[in-house]
């Protein structure tokens, strides 16, 4: 008789003792994200039938056109976390500034802040390509009982207590870590329950996939150009396969399962890189390292970078350990 898979709720309860410092709040944060993800998943799956695809007519703080579903997902995740009264602050890629949250009594007794990209890869919504949500959780550093400040959000990635992503694709999955490995849960849409489908996810040490937007090749640093040529060279187990979806969650998820490297470097068009350290790179780096992979900016570990601003951008090299290290070798030649 096949053993029944744990539901996400059962798994959270079983692993409660692994949540450092927590007296239940972190479990409730994951549960709130689970609920919000189900609501967004429902809308994503109806996107072609209702007026929720296309541009919202506004730009976010990065000057990018906001998609209608971007705005919707942002509101759903923020309101779900606020209504649960479990976090003292939220920062979103879609908002100019962080949101300080006060309890009904006006106090600030919650311990955690959440940073998120509510709908990663949203430019793919209109063409029915997988999109996702990325989230990151930190324990606040300012005194409990006082309003949160920018300092609570500008923490290096190695201070994260939890991180994860939701991928809305052929099946909807929630993948997360609290520093004790990575586990993936697949939504059964018939009953609205997430089940443990991918326990103890691990990056293969090597891979045969490289994910980079080669349309920007002429703008890349020489080290990245050389690494791409290395990937294309016929030698040993190469050439590698090029796979680039343009949705970080989708590219990351595939590479973690099959083995590969994802690269979004600096370029003459984006001299600081394009991906956001706090909303995309740190949470994905935490997951990658917990799954035996590696994440860097081409020279140093992503999770050791001290953030200086809320919407800071960095170059991102992430994936199978040996592939990232080989890319770093090429980068080091031109440091």
Domain count, the chain: 2
Is residue 119 marked as binding?
yes
Q: Is 274 annotated as a binding residue?
A: yes
Domain boundary among 198, 220, 235: 198
Phi, psi of 50 (to 5 degrees): -125, 170
pLDDT by residue, tens only, the chain of 335 residues? 445 679 998 998 888 777 666 567 888 999 999 999 999 998 887 765 555 444 555 565 665 555 688 889 999 999 999 998 889 999 999 999 999 998 765 567 889 999 999 999 887 777 778 899 999 999 999 999 899 999 999 999 999 999 999 999 889 999 999 999 999 999 998 999 999 999 999 999 999 999 999 999 999 999 999 999 999 999 999 999 999 999 999 999 999 999 999 999 999 989 999 999 999 999 999 999 999 999 999 999 999 999 999 999 999 999 999 999 999 999 999 98
Q: Are residues 55 and 187 in the same domain?
A: yes
2 within domain boundaries: no
Which of 147, 169, 198 delimits the end of a domain?
198
Residue 203 included in any domain: no
- Looking at the fold, whether 149 and 188 belong to one and the same domain comes out as yes
**Token output for 294:** 């590696």
CB distance 177 to 289 below 8 Å: no
23 is in an annotated binding site: no
Does some domain include residue 204? no
Name 134's bridge partners: 117, 165
Q: Would 238 be classed as within a structural domain?
A: yes
Kindly list the distances between the CA atom of residue 259 and the CA atoms of 44, 122, 187, 209, 252, in Å, as whole numbers in the listed order.
28, 25, 24, 7, 10
Residues 43 and 189 in one domain: yes
Q: Residues 172, 189: contact at Cβ < 8 Å?
A: yes
**246 and 289 inside one domain:** yes
Are 224 and 96 part of one and the same domain? no
Instruction: Report whether 93 belongs to an annotated binding site.
Output: yes
Do 165 and 247 have their domain in common?
no
Quick one: pLDDT at residue 55?
54
Of the residues 169, 198, 227, the one at which a domain ends: 198
pLDDT for 15 equals 81
| 306 annotated to a ligand binding site | no
Q: Are residues 43 and 107 in the same domain?
A: yes
225 assigned binding-site residue: no
Q: What is the DSSP letter of 22?
A: -
- Tell me: do 118 and 220 sit in the same domain: no
Indicate if 61 and 157 belong to the same structural domain. Answer: yes
State the burial class of residue 30 (Cβ atoms within 10 Å of its Cβ: 0-12, 13-18, 19+). Answer: buried
CA 15 to each of CA 18, 159, 183, 201, 228: distance values in angstroms, whole numbers, following the listed order: 6, 20, 12, 16, 41
Whether 130 and 261 share a structural domain: no
The CATH code of the domain that includes 248 is 3.40.190.80
What's the whole-model pTM score? 0.92
Query: Looking at the domain assignment, is residue 175 inside a domain?
Result: yes
Domain containing residue 105: 8-198
Joined tokens for residue 272: 């600081």
Nearest to 125 by CA among 160, 86, 79, 73: 73
Mark whether 137 and 219 lie in a shared domain.
no
Check residue 284 and give its pLDDT: 98
Give the side-chain half-sphere CA count within 13 A for 156: 8
Q: What is the pLDDT of residue 19?
A: 66
State the pLDDT at residue 25: 83
Cα 306 to the center of its chain, rounded Å = 18
Q: Is residue 180 part of a domain?
A: yes
Residue 221 counted as domain residue: yes
> 158 with 227, same domain?
no
Strand order in the sheet with 241-242: 241-242, 209-211, 260-264, 316-319, 294-296
- Say if residue 85 carries a ligand binding annotation: no
Q: Which CATH number belongs to the domain containing residue 75 in this structure?
A: 3.30.540.10
Query: Token pair for residue 167?
Result: 């991928």
Q: Is residue 3 part of a domain?
A: no
The DSSP call for residue 105 is: T
């Amino acid at each position: 008789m096949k053993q029944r898979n744990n539901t996400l709720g059962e798994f959270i309860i079983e692993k409660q003792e692994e949540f450092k410092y927590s007296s239940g709040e972190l479990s409730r944060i994951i549960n709130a994200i689970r609920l919000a993800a189900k609501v967004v998943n429902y809308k994503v799956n109806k996107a072609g039938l209702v007026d929720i695809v296309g541009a919202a007519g506004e730009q976010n703080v990065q000057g990018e056109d906001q998609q209608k579903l971007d705005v919707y997902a942002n509101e759903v995740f923020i309101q779900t976390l606020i209504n649960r009264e479990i976090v003292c602050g939220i920062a979103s890629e879609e908002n100019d500034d962080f949101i300080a949250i006060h309890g009904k009594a006006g106090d600030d007794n919650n311990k955690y802040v959440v940073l998120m990209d509510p709908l990663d890869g949203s430019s793919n919504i209109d063409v029915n390509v997988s999109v996702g949500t990325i989230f990151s959780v930190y324990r606040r550093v300012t005194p409990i009982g006082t309003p949160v400040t920018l300092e609570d959000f500008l923490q290096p990635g190695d201070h994260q207590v939890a991180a994860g992503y939701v991928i809305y694709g052929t099946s909807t999955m929630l993948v997360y870590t609290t520093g004790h490995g990575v586990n993936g849960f697949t939504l059964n849409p018939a009953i609205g329950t997430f089940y443990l489908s991918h326990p103890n996810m691990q990056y293969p040490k090597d891979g045969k996939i490289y994910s980079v937007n080669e349309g920007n090749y002429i703008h890349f640093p020489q080290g990245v150009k050389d690494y791409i040529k290395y990937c294309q060279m016929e030698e040993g187990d190469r050439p590698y396969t090029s796979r680039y979806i343009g949705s970080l969650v989708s590219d990351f998820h595939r590479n973690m399962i099959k083995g590969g490297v994802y690269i979004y470097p600096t370029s003459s068009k984006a001299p600081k890189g394009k991906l956001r350290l706090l909303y995309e790179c740190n949470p994905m780096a935490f997951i990658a390292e917990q799954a035996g992979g590696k994440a860097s900016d081409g020279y140093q570990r992503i999770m050791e970078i001290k953030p200086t601003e809320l919407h800071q951008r960095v170059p991102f090299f992430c994936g199978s350990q040996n592939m990232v290290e080989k890319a770093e070798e090429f980068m080091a030649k031109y440091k």
